Homo-oligomer: A and B are copies of this chain.
Amino acid sequence: MVGIKDVAKAAGVSVSTVSNVLNGKSNVGEDTKVRVLNICRELSYYPNSAGKALKAGKTNTILFNFSDFDRSFFLKIIHGISDYVNDNGYDLIICTEKSCEKFMRSNLSCGGIILDQKMKDETLNKIAGNSYPIVVLDRIIENPYIKSIVVNNYDPMCELIQGVIKRGYRHFGFVGGPEHTDDNKERYRAFRDVLEQNNITFQQKSYFAGDYREKSGYTAAKILMLSQELPDCLVCANDNMAIGAMKAFRDNGIRVPEDIAITGFDNCDLAEVMGLTTVSIPNYERGYIAARYLIENIRGSRNVEPFKISAKILWRNSVLLKKK
């Protein structure tokens, strides 16, 4: 490993001069500067980040944390984060599961964007601080050093259900996601509220608890098919489960939307091909905005007002335009 000393020796100068050259300080002669830079190239010298970080007491690295490998919209979020972070001279590391807390606490990163729901609020509250701002996605944490960025689930879900009702649907089923997650709660609440506003009763037996995975939607639909009569419309808390349900119906000769309508939430890649009516979340933008707020907070602005991202409804033919 070639270090700053090797460069200094080869260039016949002191290490501090090399350091000054590399950091663009003005107190160094033109000819020495050129000589040093050439030597660096020749020896292919790269500064050791450990030394740098240790001295500086901080880094310029943003951390992004996720862990659910089944949902491909993460790639879009990462893309948005990556673009903003790179444009602003920061580095990005993405990490999963266990390494994450370590990378946050050990000065290897200077701020984090957290998507993984497995990372507990309590842990984040402990880690967040003046020198380590955090942005959390899909949940709200009240903490002067944590900015929350959430999708406005309630309004578009209301609009979606109201639209479905307007099209003549009256009997609903609901497939929910993990019950402790804020977004699932909000989507379900919107669903119930709109039904109530329209004097439509909803029976608890028409609720199916899923986990946002395709398989749980498939299972919910299978169970549903055992009951006396199908609902008109099965509302799913996300696309994966909606797609699972569509497959289950298809496998059992039940037509969508003629026999039953289905709606999802997310607008995942498959949704378009499957013709699934759903709510589109701007994921790239979500990542970009998250990175922007994080870096602004790292730089000293103290902005932790929760930020709501709006989503829009995509009507596709998993719902009939006009029920008979």
Contact = CB atoms under 8 A, between A and B. Distances in A.
Interface of A: 1, 44, 46-54, 57, 59, 69-70, 72, 74-76, 78-79, 82, 86, 91-99, 102-103, 105-108, 126, 131, 269-270, 273-274
Contact of A131 (B1, B79, B126, B273): B1
A156 to B, nearest CB: 24
A131 B1 CA distance: 9
B49 A106 contact: yes
A291 to B, nearest CB: 12
A56 to B, nearest CB: 9
Contact of A102 (B91, B131, B274): B91
Contact of A53 (B50, B69, B76, B94): B50
A269 B71 CA distance: 11
B269 A50 contact: no
What are the nearest 4 A-B pairs in CB distance? A46-B105, A72-B72, A50-B53, A49-B106
A51 B56 CA distance: 11
B51 A54 contact: yes
A174 to B, nearest CB: 24
A57 B94 CA distance: 23
Contact of A44 (B44, B79, B108, B126): B126
Contacts of A131: 1
A94 B76 CA distance: 15
A57 B1 contact: yes
A277 to B, nearest CB: 16
A181 to B, nearest CB: 20
A95 B270 CA distance: 26
A227 B203 CA distance: 58
A107 B75 CA distance: 27
A50 to B, nearest CB: 4
14 contacts: A1-B57, A47-B106, A48-B54, A49-B50, A50-B50, A50-B106, A86-B99, A92-B96, A93-B94, A93-B95, A94-B94, A269-B269, A270-B273, A273-B274
B97 A94 contact: no
A85 to B, nearest CB: 8
Contacts of A70: 75
Contacts of A99: 86, 91-93
Contacts of A76: 69
A107 B96 CA distance: 21
A213 to B, nearest CB: 13
Contacts of A59: 50
Nearest to A268: B269
A106 B61 CA distance: 13
A220 B251 CA distance: 33
Contacts of A50: 49-51, 53-54, 59, 106-108
